[in-house]
Amino acid sequence: MKLKTLKIDSFRGASKPLVLEFDGEKTVTMVFGENGNGKSTITDSLVCLCTDEHGSLDDKSSIDKSFYTSISSKPADLKIELKTDMGDFQATLSGKSFAKNPAVGHPIVRHLRRSQITQFIEEQPHKRYEQLQSFIDVTNISKSEDALRKLNKETDDAQKIAISTLASAIATLEETWTNEGKPEKDWETWAKKESVRDIAKEEGKLKQLEDATTKWNSIKETEVKHTNDVAEIGKARFAREAAEEKMKKAQEGNEDANTDLLSLLQSAQKFISGKDEVKNCPVCESTIEKENLLKSIGSKIESMNSFSEIVLAVKNARSAEDGKQKILESTVSTFIQKISIFEQTVSSISAKPFPDIAKQLFFIKSTETNEQKLLGFSKVFPEIEKEMEAQKLEAENIKKAIGQHNLIKNQYNSIVTSREKSASTQKLLVAIEGTLKIVEKARKDFVQNELVSISSDVDALYQKLHPNESLGGIALTLKQTTKNSLELSADFYSKSGITPQSVYSESHLDTLGICVFIALAKKYGAANSILILDDVVMSVDENHLDRFIGLLHDEADNFAHIIITTHYRPWKDRYRYNRAPSQKVHFIELRPWSLGNGIRVQNGKLAIDELRQALADNNYFDRQKITSVAGVILENIFDYLSVLFQCRVPRKPKNDYQLRELLDAISSKLMNLLKVEHLGKNTLGKYDGSTIAKTANLKTLLDNIKQLAIVRNWVGAHFNYDGSMVSDADVEQFGKLTLELSELITCPDSGNFPDRNKSGSYWETKNGSIRLYPLQEP
């Protein structure tokens, strides 16, 4: 798979639409920029598009997901699009999550950030294991294992409950058996017999006793109410007699105090008031005047007001007495009915003393009135009450005996059930535990085998970075005593199997974390895997940086694409000045970010390409740029040669040598022997050393460069009048000589210098395209 373009709009720092064009011929892209210029936005966009993660945002807590969108944009504007030769992939924001089109089939993105390296090295073993889960996917077997573990716990709990229930039931029956005087030879024999004993008769008798008791209690309640009703009617009778006596006294000596007259007047008043017009008396038919007649009637009624109140009081008292009488009659009727029902109930009970109780009630029927019936009942009430109290105790004893029988039966059945359940549960528990061990071992064995295979690759990668440093022996192991716990061990000089965190330096731990991640990404990658290394190298020495660059290019074929982001300028300059395989890297440089401009991109150039373009510019001949760039290129080349051949240079505190000092370091003996051979490719496109396409002795070229070296200072580095005297031809010649030397010692395929000693006779590039002689200064 080849990447074509990445378009980012309104995502994080991309406040303006950003389009990155990838070089289809190069599988490594370096994005260089100072902090805050948008490197994380670029890498996070790929992570959000191709995975369920969110890149660097996942390293932070309390993230406001509304800021996925650029601060000046709307959520609907956010769009990420990746075009590849395998298809196009898009993502937009839907709520607080990303909607992807297509939903599946995205490139595999492995994203390594410095924070992940730190976490992997410093975290506890169980946390370290979590970082491997996206690579070593045992999700399904882990789910099965968790389900078995849950079932094992539930079954074990059920077994404990069954055993506890069994023990409790046995203790209860043993105690009951002892309290009963230990009938039978043992408690279990007794309990088994007792549990099957038929207690239907006892239950029937209890039901009859409880039924009779309930009805008797109802009679007693009604008897209390009857007593209260009798008392209430007595009070009402007394109040009525008192009111009538008061009315009688009011009538004595007062002709107008007549209840019939008062009633007549009130009726007449009501009748006449209801007529619209009255001209004649309705009784004698004499002529009358309605208003005068009503006034006369009203005066008479008013004169009788005090008597009227007495009459009303008598009326109310009589009415109250009638109401109480009706209540009493209802109570008496209910009382007699309940007595009759009770009589029928006890008559149907064959057990003593109920027939005798019924006989005491029979004579009640011979009475003539309810009062006589109640009087007869009151005579036998004490004896019946006494017998019913005795039967109440009998009912309680029967109920207790039935309760104990049910207890024994339930406890014995519980023992039988618990024994059966415990036996079956124990078999199931053994099966589950055995299966769990098998599944757990299978998972751990699989993960451990994977870790072993990864460990060897990690160690091989680590040895490339740290050869001959008495470090390595990297081993990733799964801790057997826990579920998910990853142990990390290594060698340190004569000590083996130590924790590297104890003795390794911070930079050595960083590179260890990187090696682990690359090994995992390589093993669990595919043809469409994109490896992102996001600011993983901070500050390393020159040798380790060269080895790390070499390691990346050695591993590049294992991935569809490698994207490197960095603000570490020495890393970038290793490519810029051909000290690394620059021809295999696509450079993207980020300019300072602003809200108005968003992320700004410029394609980075190699120094040799800048010089080549400056010399080829027919519109403007830039003297200063040509000499300046050429001077830097030459300092880089001769610095490389002086180190390669261990040339003598003046000792300086910072080793910041200038061009003239580096040129003078090349001795005449070495100068005479310096030459390069460019080899041709065979039919398979490989450099096999069988064909030498070009040979060039470097002495004449270096002498010419020495003669023009002063041009660098006069024209490209300082202001002076001597620079004005230098012709354009000399400037051009200085640039062309530099370009010629660069092209002679720079691999046309990878872009780096010959730096490998495989033959023992010359230096050569990694792919064997160029040979540099001699091997050492004579």
Q: Which CATH number covers residue 593?
A: 3.40.50.300
Please report, for residues 668, 696, 772, the alpha-carbon distance to residue 673 in angstroms, rounded to integers and kept in the order given.
Answer: 9, 11, 10
Same-domain pairing of 600 and 620: no
In a domain, 235, yes or no: no
Same-domain pairing of 626 and 599: no
Same-domain pairing of 740 and 670: yes
CA distance 265 to 255: 15
Nearest CA to 99 among 114, 81, 112, 87?
81
Same-domain pairing of 653 and 715: yes
Contact 418, 488 (CB under 8 A): no
Name the stretches of the chain with pLDDT < 50. 363
In a domain, 406, yes or no: no
In a domain, 650, yes or no: yes
Same-domain pairing of 679 and 720: yes
Nearest CA to 113 among 489, 510, 476, 593?
510
Amino acid at 22: F
Structure confidence at residue 536 (pLDDT): 87
Q: Which of 539, 572, 604 is the last residue of a domain?
A: 604
In a domain, 305, yes or no: no
Same-domain pairing of 552 and 628: no
CA distance 139 to 386: 79
Instruction: Please name the residues in contact with 606: beta carbons below 8 A apart, sequence gap of 6 or more.
Output: 575, 576, 577, 578, 582, 587, 751
pTM, two decimals, is 0.64
Q: Which of 571, 604, 637 is the last residue of a domain?
A: 604
Same-domain pairing of 677 and 750: yes
In a domain, 514, yes or no: yes
Same-domain pairing of 618 and 761: yes
In a domain, 244, yes or no: no
In a domain, 261, yes or no: no
Same-domain pairing of 619 and 768: yes
Residue with tokens 């009726």: 267
Same-domain pairing of 526 and 631: no
CA distance 128 to 197: 67
Rounded (10°) CA dihedral 160, 165, 166, 169: 160
Residue with tokens 């495989």: 758
Same-domain pairing of 756 and 679: yes
- The whole domain housing 522 covers 3-137+505-604
Indicate left, alpha or beta for 55 from its phi (over 0: left) and psi (-120 to 50: alpha): left
In a domain, 57, yes or no: yes
DSSP codes joined into one string, 156-212: HHHHHHHHHHHHHHHHHHHHHHHHTT--SSSHHHHHHHHHH---HHHHHHHHHHHHH
Q: Which of 580, 604, 628 is the last residue of a domain?
A: 604
φ, ψ dihedrals at 262, nearest 5°: -60, -40
CA distance 9 to 42: 11
Structure confidence at residue 238 (pLDDT): 94
Same-domain pairing of 531 and 634: no
How many domains, the chain?
A: 2
Long-range contacts, stretch 567-574, CB < 8 angstroms, 24+ apart:
567/32, 567/33, 567/34, 567/35, 567/39, 567/535, 568/535, 568/537, 568/538, 568/539, 569/32, 570/542, 570/545, 571/30, 571/537, 571/545, 572/30, 572/32, 572/604, 574/545, 574/546, 574/549
